[in-house]
Structure 1
Amino acid sequence: MQPPETEMDSTGTASTAMASMDAVPETRPLTTADLRWALASGWADFKERRGDLLMLPFVYVMVGIVASALAFHAALFPVIFPLAAGFALVGPIAAAGFYELARRREAGLESGWSHFLDPLKGRPRGALLVLSGVLVLLFVGWMAAAQAIYASTLGTLGPATPEAFLGALFSTPQGLAMIVIGNAVGAGFAVVTLAIAAFSFPMVVDRPADPFVAMATSVAAFRRNPVVMLGWGLRVALILLAAALPLFVGLMVALPVLGYATWHLYTRAIAR
């Protein structure tokens, strides 16, 4: 591929980089076969760089354990489930290092753990901070929504203990309403996060890109492949759920595998 011609602006500054940041790249169609390929490639990357340094996934494991411990405090019990679910909203923040390792391995570059934090030390840092801020806002919005749903449904009964909370959750109209409304609202937050974050994070690691252009690109890829992307989101949710069941230990494998796999799906979905 020939390098793009460089145009000069009135100050004599090259505008090629600015154009590349402002233009939304072409998106490609995806199939379920691409999802299987991405997961297989993610697993291959994990076997190559399987986890001598898993600091960020380990932090997620510890947070999950602490969240479970909070369940013994009755006042905090209602927030445990939305808190655990909400971690999936900010998961892409922890995956940036895995995107970099997968990118370097794809390019035939040295991909040791010393490069894991490269995205936070180099060019992508500013864009990653903006994208992370957006996801944190979504997480805060979800927690506020979950608290409002609880207060207007099961909270009206004021269950005093974790046992009473669980009993009321499955045996009262208020509890069933909280389950239905909470799942519907949570699914909405998950879809929005999937649309804006699935490919924006790997894109800013891969190339000079404005974070808002990266989000627009991710949304464009989602709109072009809504069924496949929803299938990807479902796969990610099921993998995380299965990994969390054995005391969250499985997340130490699931998180890096999904990080690597998301990078590979990005290479199929977005023209580079």
Structure 2
Amino acid sequence: MPKTPIPLPQVRTVGLMQPMTWLVLAWRDMARSGWISFAHGLAITAFGGAILAVAHHRFWLLAGALSGFLVVAPVLATSLYALSRALEQRQEANLGVVLKTWLNWQNSHFNKWGNDYWCMVQFGALLALAATGWVITSAAFITLLAPMPVETPMDFMRHVVLANNGWLFELWLALGSLLAAPIFASSVIAMPLLLDRRASLRVAVLTSWQVVVANPLPMAFWAALILGFTLLGLGSLLLGLIFVMPMLGHASWHAYRDLVDASSLPLRDAAVATGQRSGVLS
């Protein structure tokens, strides 16, 4: 007999300005989490500084690394979601929560051969593949259409961004937006859902798409805020990322909680506790 498809969680609609509430709640979580929240931003800033040091004269390596970071950011922020969840449940948001998130995630999967076991790994791999595809596409686009060779960031500014004639920069932005839109729609609440509930990758991605379809204007505003704050962080010699990245990570958890009623799916941690008490592994 064919398996009965698992119903998707119920999706809620929110007002246009609701993303601003998520940011306010994110700052509250950052204040309550303390140093552990800002340590995420500091680690990302240090990583970005290392990229700049190595690739500042290799434009496509630099662009690829930064673009790839933006695409896989929902996965990198997983422990920030966990910190916000701990605060929501009136638990301590400390280093233990972070370590449990990254080191003990497999304990929530009893069937190590099942598709659900690899859902977070699969999602990260798909996002990395999408980032690689964008870098290759972008490089080919600029190489073919730029009037002069583009090898450094200054070349890109001079011959693409500040070019007097043509629409190359506008076309490049339009191409990037076209490719980024489905990635955003697939990931906007997928990782928080995978962290919180025993859901498959398919359920998480389809639910994320439902959220965007049901809330097109708020999600467009949220995407603009994410892009704007990220560019602000990058444009401040990366120092702004110390505050921007934890803020966006915590806010994404509150976006998930506002937009999705996942009560129809079992809690991931609850499933672990039940399995340990029963002593039965499927």
Q: What TM-score do you get using the length of structure 2 for normalisation?
A: 0.80
1:34 aligns with 2:25: no
Could you say what the CA RMSD is over the residues aligned between the two structures, in angstroms? 2.5
User: Pairwise mapping of residues 45-124 of structure 1 onto structure 2 (< 5 A)?
Assistant: 45-52=29-36, 56-70=40-54, 72-73=56-57, 76-81=58-63, 83-120=65-102, 121-122=104-105, 123=108
1:146 aligns with 2:138: yes
SS across alignment from 2:237: coil
- 1:174-212 Cα offsets, whole Å, 9 max, x none, are 6x41x1222111112221121011111000111111011
Give the equivalent residue in structure 1 for 2:159. 168
The whole-number CA distance in structure 2 between the counterparts of 1:162 and 1:250 is: 20
- 1:105-125 Cα offsets, whole Å, 9 max, x none, are 101123212111323322277
Q: 1:22 to 1:141 in 2, by over 3 A?
A: same
Q: 1:180 to 1:79 in 2, by over 3 A?
A: farther
Give the deviation of 1:72 after TM superposition: 4.6
- 1:116-169 Cα offsets, whole Å, 9 max, x none, are 132332227732111111111110111111111112111x63256665553323
Give the deviation of 1:234 after TM superposition: 0.3
Q: Which moved more, 1:115-124 or 1:215-224?
A: 115-124
Give the equivalent residue in structure 2 for 1:251. 241
Give the deviation of 1:98 after TM superposition: 0.7
Give the equivalent residue in structure 2 for 1:4. none
Contact map agreement 1:22 1:209 (CA 8 A) in 2: no
Give the deviation of 1:246 after TM superposition: 1.9
SS across alignment from 1:32: coil
Give the deviation of 1:87 after TM superposition: 2.0
SS across alignment from 1:30: coil
The whole-number CA distance in structure 1 between the counterparts of 2:87 and 2:151 is: 53
Contact map agreement 1:53 1:113 (CA 8 A) in 2: no
Contact map agreement 2:22 2:252 (CA 8 A) in 1: yes
User: Pairwise mapping of residues 202-217 of structure 1 onto structure 2 (< 5 A)?
Assistant: 202-217=192-207
Amino acid at match of 1:167: R
Q: What TM-score do you get using the length of structure 1 for normalisation?
A: 0.82
Q: Which moved more, 1:194-203 or 1:77-86?
A: 77-86
SS across alignment from 1:90: helix
Give the equivalent residue in structure 2 for 1:135. 127
1:188 aligns with 2:178: yes
Q: 1:117 to 1:157 in 2, by over 3 A?
A: same
Amino acid at match of 2:186: I
1:268 aligns with 2:250: no
Amino acid at match of 2:95: W
Q: Which moved more, 1:115-124 or 1:203-212?
A: 115-124
Residue 230 of structure 2, aligned match among 240, 248, 257: 240
Q: 1:153 to 1:78 in 2, by over 3 A?
A: farther
Contact map agreement 1:57 1:94 (CA 8 A) in 2: no
Matched residues, percent identical? 22
Amino acid at match of 2:6: D
The whole-number CA distance in structure 2 between the counterparts of 1:95 and 1:251 is: 13
Q: 1:219 to 1:162 in 2, by over 3 A?
A: closer
Q: 1:254 to 1:88 in 2, by over 3 A?
A: same
Amino acid at match of 1:212: R
Give the equivalent residue in structure 1 for 2:148. 157
- 1:203-240 Cα offsets, whole Å, 9 max, x none, are 01111110111001001111111111011010011111
Give the deviation of 1:262 after TM superposition: 0.6
The whole-number CA distance in structure 2 between the counterparts of 1:162 and 1:96 is: 31
Contact map agreement 1:46 1:257 (CA 8 A) in 2: yes
Give the equivalent residue in structure 2 for 1:14. none
The whole-number CA distance in structure 2 between the counterparts of 1:106 and 1:167 is: 48
